[in-house]
Amino acid sequence: MPVDRIDELGGRPEPEQTLHVNRNRALRRFLRHRLAILGTVTIAVLVIACAIGPYITPFDHLFIDIRSRFQPPVSGAHVFGTDEMGRDLLSRLMMAGRVSLTIGFAAMMLSTIFGTLVGAVAGYYGRKTGAVLMRFVDAVLCFPNIFLLLTLAAFIQPSLMTITIIIAATSWMEVARVVEGQLRSLRERDFAVAAEMIGAPNSHIMFKELLPNAVAPIVVAATLTVARAILMESYISFLGYGIQPPEPSWGNMLNNAQQYLNSAPWLAIFPGLMITLAVTSFNFLGDGLRDALDPRLEV
């Protein structure tokens, strides 16, 4: 067969162009990002501690021991000290971490799925559908989030589920915008026309051909959404509309600690530190992913 010899002339794939190396290149860029590594490690430690910590500590996070109230950290059996009712602060922090991280991840999942759907439909169909959907996104984006959260929270019975939904409802817009922009440009590419040419249904083109090419920016936006969701949960719990005592959350622990700021500052410092640590870690991770997955560097 005469065409066989052309195969050799056509040039072999250059070794540096293989997918394997490409992935490694993204990984290498990520590993160069010191803060992102730090963030990843911190998140891993937090997740593991909150997941298995409560099974290990001898103290129940709800057990009240009036005799050992306001014990400062490292003074006795309680490593992080105790609160105004003698409850172990470390146990409470870990249980609160479960709540915050769960809400963070769940809200991220919800808002990413919803935002991706809205963005994909808007970007793929464009024209009037796209214009209407994106103006709706702009309108929701204009709402002052925290007031919206508080208003909604005031009407709805607070629980893990409702708080997650409320937070997701105020944070899906960024993903929607990212996905809309991506799909709008991807659908003009020839491979989208090729899919149209073979008679592929819209859902196939949208979800199987185009969206996989937009994964990197979606992952970045999702990571940053986790940070924002944790912060929002803290806001509403701090203001008393979120997780209700005695169940702890980093936000309502901070709220409690206000009265004892002078006498027992550790009650405020530790939950505050946790929020800062979690939020900055997710932000660093997001930044690192953004740099590592930037397609412009993928030449």
252, containing H or E segment: helix 250-257
Q: Binding residue for another protein (CB under 8 A) from 3, 56, 142, 154?
A: 3
180 near another protein, judged by CB under 8 A:
no
276 near another protein, judged by CB under 8 A:
no
CB of 131 to another protein, least distance (A): 6
- Report which of 243, 244, 248 is spatially closest to residue 232, judged by C-alpha positions: 243
Q: Binding residue for another protein (CB under 8 A) from 65, 84, 196, 287?
A: 196
Both structure tokens of 41: 């490690």
Per-residue binding string, another protein, 110-149, x by CB under 8 A, is ------------------x--x------------------
Q: Binding residue for another protein (CB under 8 A) from 56, 157, 199, 296?
A: 199
CB closer to another protein, 18 vs 75: 18
213 near another protein, judged by CB under 8 A:
yes
201 near another protein, judged by CB under 8 A:
yes
66 near another protein, judged by CB under 8 A:
no
CA torsion 101-106-111-113 (nearest 10°) is 140
Query: Distance (Å, rounded) from C-alpha 199 to C-alpha 201?
Result: 6
154 near another protein, judged by CB under 8 A:
no
Both structure tokens of 72: 């400062």
CB closer to another protein, 3 vs 142: 3
Other C-beta atoms closer than 10 Å to the C-beta of 69 total: 14
Supply φ then ψ for residue 80, to 5 degrees: -95, 10
Q: Binding residue for another protein (CB under 8 A) from 45, 194, 273, 297?
A: 194
- Using an 8 Å Cβ cutoff, are 59 and 91 in contact? yes
CB of 210 to another protein, least distance (A): 9
296 near another protein, judged by CB under 8 A:
no
Query: Distance (Å, rounded) from C-alpha 172 to C-alpha 119?
Result: 10
CB closer to another protein, 64 vs 193: 193
DSSP string, 8-24: HHT-PPPGGGSHHHHHH
Q: Binding residue for another protein (CB under 8 A) from 91, 209, 237, 243?
A: 209
- Say which amino acid occupies 103: I
Supply φ then ψ for residue 88, to 5 degrees: -70, 125
Both structure tokens of 110: 């919800």
CA 23, 288, 234, 256 torsion-angle sign: positive
CB closer to another protein, 72 vs 295: 295
190 near another protein, judged by CB under 8 A:
yes
246: preceding bond cis by omega (within 30 degrees): yes
Which of these segments, 2-10, 162-170, 245-253, 256-264, binds another protein (CB under 8 A)?
Answer: 2-10
The C-alpha angle with vertex 272 and arms to 271 and 274, in degrees rounded to 5, equals 65
Q: Which residues form the interface with another protein (CB under 8 A)?
A: 1-4, 6-7, 9-11, 13, 17-19, 22, 128, 131, 189-191, 193-201, 204, 209, 212-213
